[in-house]
């Protein structure tokens, strides 16, 4: 059976299978060697993710080789602003993230869990495109507050002994990141930003022993095909 790689997260994961998305790029990258399973939930924070975790993972079935856990962008919504329903206090965010990691490892001890921090926010871009019917003119989340959640995510990873992708910092290493690596809303990644995240995920998977070199190819490549019996070529490999 092909190995499974599960992507679990909020809208940054749900939208990752769109054209130019990091999840779609991952599926293409492993198209002959692993199945990428999408479990993205727009608007969810870690509180809700933890409550639905068992239901989500039951649908996955067999033990995945790896699971990315990508939450924090909604938890970081400011507690007294428009999207306060999504806000989760920083300490609870850490507890929820730790509980998600522990639950996955308890269910599948051999599965590699990879945490991903929330990406940065372009405050000016977000202010120009407020959520829903928010006419307050006030930011409902900021890059500074999101950065606190990114640091908390890294803390959880270090304490749990799991790898983490600090995409909040990585994106900001590039010039003009606000407009080139984030989309029109100042919050979600652009195609270029998605490419950077895809490359970071591939790096972390490779560190954990999962790559095109280590995953077997599903069925023989055309050059090795026995035209009369394609399965014979496969069993002889």
Residues designated as active site: 11, 185, 188
- For the four alpha carbons of 226, 230, 231 and 234, in that order, the dihedral sign comes to positive
Cβ proximity of 6 and 37 under 8 Å: yes
Buried b (16+ CB within 10 A) or exposed e, 114-152: bbbbbbbbbbebbeeebbeeeeeeebbbbbebbbbbbeb
Distance from C-alpha of 111 to C-alpha of 229, rounded to nearest angstrom: 35
In whole angstroms, give the CA distance from residue 190 to residue 186.
9
DSSP 67-123: EEEE--TTTTS-TTSTTGGG---HHHHHHHHHHHHHHHHHH-TTPEEEEEPPPP--H
């Amino acid at each position: 059976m092909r190995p499974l790689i599960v992507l679990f997260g909020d809208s940054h994961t749900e939208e990752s299978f769109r054209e130019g998305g990091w999840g779609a790029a991952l599926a293409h990258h492993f198209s002959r060697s692993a199945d990428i399973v999408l479990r993205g939930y727009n608007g969810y924070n870690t509180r809700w993710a933890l409550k639905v975790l068992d239901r989500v993972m039951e649908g996955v079935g067999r033990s995945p080789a790896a699971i990315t856990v990508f939450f924090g962008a909604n938890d970081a919504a400011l507690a007294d602003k428009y999207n306060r329903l999504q806000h989760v206090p920083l300490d609870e965010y850490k507890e929820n993230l730790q509980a998600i990691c522990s639950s996955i490892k308890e269910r599948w001890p051999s599965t590699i869990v990879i945490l991903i921090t929330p990406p940065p926010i372009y405050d000016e871009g977000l202010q120009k495109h407020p959520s829903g019917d928010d006419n307050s003119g006030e930011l409902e989340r900021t890059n500074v507050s999101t950065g606190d959640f990114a640091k908390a995510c890294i803390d959880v990873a270090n304490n749990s002994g799991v790898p983490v992708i600090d995409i909040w910092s990585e994106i900001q290493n590039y010039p003009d990141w606000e407009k080139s690596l984030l989309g029109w809303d100042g919050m979600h990644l652009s195609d270029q930003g998605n490419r950077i995240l895809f490359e970071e995920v591939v790096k972390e998977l490779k560190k954990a022993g999962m790559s095109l070199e280590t995953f077997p190819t599903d069925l023989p490549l055309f050059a090795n095909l026995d035209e009369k019996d394609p399965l014979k070529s496969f069993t002889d490999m």
